[in-house]
Amino acid sequence: MSPRRSVAEARHTRDTIITTAIDIASLDGLEGVTIGRLAGELGMSKSGVLGHFGTKETLQLAAIRLVVDQFTTHVVEPALDHAPGEDRLLALCDNWFDYVTDPGLPGGCLMTAAAVEFDGRAGDVRDVVAEAWARWDDLLRKELGRTPGDFDVDQALFEIVAFGPAVNRAVQLFGDRSAAGRAKRAARRVIGRTG
Amino acid sequence: MSPRRSVAEARHTRDTIITTAIDIASLDGLEGVTIGRLAGELGMSKSGVLGHFGTKETLQLAAIRLVVDQFTTHVVEPALDHAPGEDRLLALCDNWFDYVTDPGLPGGCLMTAAAVEFDGRAGDVRDVVAEAWARWDDLLRKELGRTPGDFDVDQALFEIVAFGPAVNRAVQLFGDRSAAGRAKRAARRVIGRTG
DNA sequence: CCTACCGATCGGTAGG
DNA sequence: CCTACCGATCGGTAGG
**Cβ <8 Å between B119 and A169:** yes
Closest CB from B29, B173, B186 relative to A159: B186
Distance A105 CA to D2 C1' (A): 31
Q: Are B79 and B91 in contact (CB under 8 A)?
A: yes
Contacts of A187 (CB under 8 A, 6+ apart): A89, A90, A93, A94, A97, A160, A163
Closest of A46, A54, A161, A185 to residue B163, by C-alpha: A161
Q: Search chain A and give the residue with CA nearest B121.
A: A27
Residues B167-195: tens digit of each pLDDT: 999 999 999 999 999 999 999 999 999 85
* pTM for the structure as a whole: 0.95
User: From CA A179, how far away is CA A164, in angstroms rounded?
Assistant: 9
Comparing CB atoms, the residue among B168, B173, B186 nearest residue A133 is B173
Q: Of A76, A77, A92, give the one whose Cα is nearest residue A147.
A: A92
pLDDT of A5: 66
Q: What distance lies between CA B11 and its chain's CA centroid?
A: 23
pLDDT in tens, B53-96: 999 999 999 999 999 999 999 999 999 999 999 999 999 999 99
Q: Which residues of A touch B (CB under 8 A)?
A: 26-29, 31-32, 106-108, 112-113, 115-117, 119-121, 129-130, 133-134, 154-155, 158-159, 161-163, 165-166, 168-170, 172-174, 179, 182-183, 185-186, 189
Look at residue B2 and tell me whether its pLDDT is greater than 50: no
State the virtual CA torsion across A42, A46, A51, A55 in degrees, nearest 10: 110
Nucleotide nearest to B49 (CA to C1'): C1
The DSSP code for A123 is: S
B166, B183 Cβ separation under 8 angstroms: yes
Are the beta carbons of B99 and B109 closer than 8 angstroms?
A: yes
Contact B166 A165 (CB under 8 A): yes
Q: What is the pLDDT of residues A36-84, one digit of tens each?
A: 999 999 999 999 999 999 999 999 999 999 999 999 999 999 999 999 9
> Which of A130, A163, A179 has the CB atom closest to B173's CB atom?
A130
Sign of the Cα pseudo-torsion (A119, B114, B64, B13, in order): negative
Per-residue model confidence as pLDDT tens digits over A137-146: 999 999 999 9
Task: State how far the Cα of A33 lies from the Cα of A75, in Å rounded to an integer.
Answer: 26
Query: Least CA distance to A105: which residue of chain B?
Result: B120
DSSP for B69-122?
HHHIIIIIHHHTTSPTTHHHHHHHHHHHHHHHH--SSTTS-HHHHHHHHHTT--
Q: At what angle do helices B124-145 and B153-174 cross, to 10 degrees?
A: 120
Predicted confidence band at A1 (pLDDT cuts at 50, 70, 90)?
Answer: very low
List, as one string, the DSSP characters of B30-64.
GGG--HHHHHHHHT--HHHHHTTTSSHHHHHHHHH
Which residue has better confidence, B112 or A1? Answer: B112
pLDDT band at B5 (very low <50, low <70, confident <90, very high): low
Which of left, alpha, beta for B85 (phi over 0: left; psi -120 to 50: alpha)?
Answer: left
Closest residue in A to B106 (Cα–Cα): A120
Which residues of chain A are within 8 Å of residue B179 when distances are taken between CB atoms?
Answer: 158
* Chain B residues closer than 8 Å to A159 by CB: 159, 162-163, 166, 182, 186, 189
Q: Measured in angstroms, what separates residue A37's CA from nucleotide C12's C1'?
A: 15
